[in-house]
Amino acid sequence: MVKWALVWILAPVLAGSGCGYQIVRYKDALGDVRRVAIVGLENNSFEPGLDSMVSDAIAREFLRRGALKVVSDPETADLIVTGAVDRLQTHSESFSTIEFVLEFKVTMGLDLKVERSDGTRIRIGGRALRESELYQASADVEVTRTNRKEALERLAGILAGRFHDALYERITP
């Protein structure tokens, strides 16, 4: 009985260590970096307020993960995030039998730049900062608009998480 208890305790530990999985520790992973400022992004899309939506999503992601303090003043920050929301691409994705659009696909891309307080730039791969999402079309324009806004909010959250992860991969010692 004791032998089986030991097997049940050690099996997950051994399996996890052999597959390359490891515990992510955000605390002190970035060396001397403690504060981040997200400077207002440019909105190169025709979607009003998308720059604020993405900036808020990035700030929420940093707050949620808790490793860095989000500050409003770039002078007090160890990392400064700037950049732009690229032009959105929207395409009809599926149609009904009588040629009505059932779904749209919207693609969002971010062009973000990260700089340390000493002026050193940190490169973030652009492929990680591009994603698409489907949303339902409707005969009611307001419903379609609401579905699009929800899709853009999901995209902002996904891209904010990817940005956070890519940033950690680039500057973790």
**pLDDT tier at 33, thresholds 50, 70, 90:** confident
CB-CB neighbours of 164 under 10 Å: 19
51 token code pair: 């720059």
Distance, in Å, from the CA atom of 163 to the CA atom of 147, rounded to the nearest integer, reads: 24
Question: Residue 32's pLDDT is what?
Answer: 77
116 and 122 Cβ atoms separated by less than 8 Å: yes
Distance, in Å, from the CA atom of 54 to the CA atom of 99, rounded to the nearest integer, reads: 34
- 49-100 pLDDT tens trace: 999 999 999 999 999 988 889 999 999 999 999 999 999 999 999 888 887 8
Question: Residue 23's pLDDT is what?
Answer: 56
Class for the domain spanning 22-171? alpha beta
Domain ranges of the chain: 22-171
Whether the predicted pLDDT of 8 surpasses 90: no
- 106-165 pLDDT tens trace: 999 999 999 998 888 988 877 889 999 999 999 999 999 999 999 999 999 999 999 998
Higher-pLDDT residue of 9, 140: 140
34 token code pair: 């403690």
Whether the predicted pLDDT of 1 surpasses 70: no
Question: Residue 25's pLDDT is what?
Answer: 55
Higher-pLDDT residue of 173, 33: 33
127 and 107 Cβ atoms separated by less than 8 Å: no
Higher-pLDDT residue of 8, 93: 93
92 and 101 Cβ atoms separated by less than 8 Å: yes
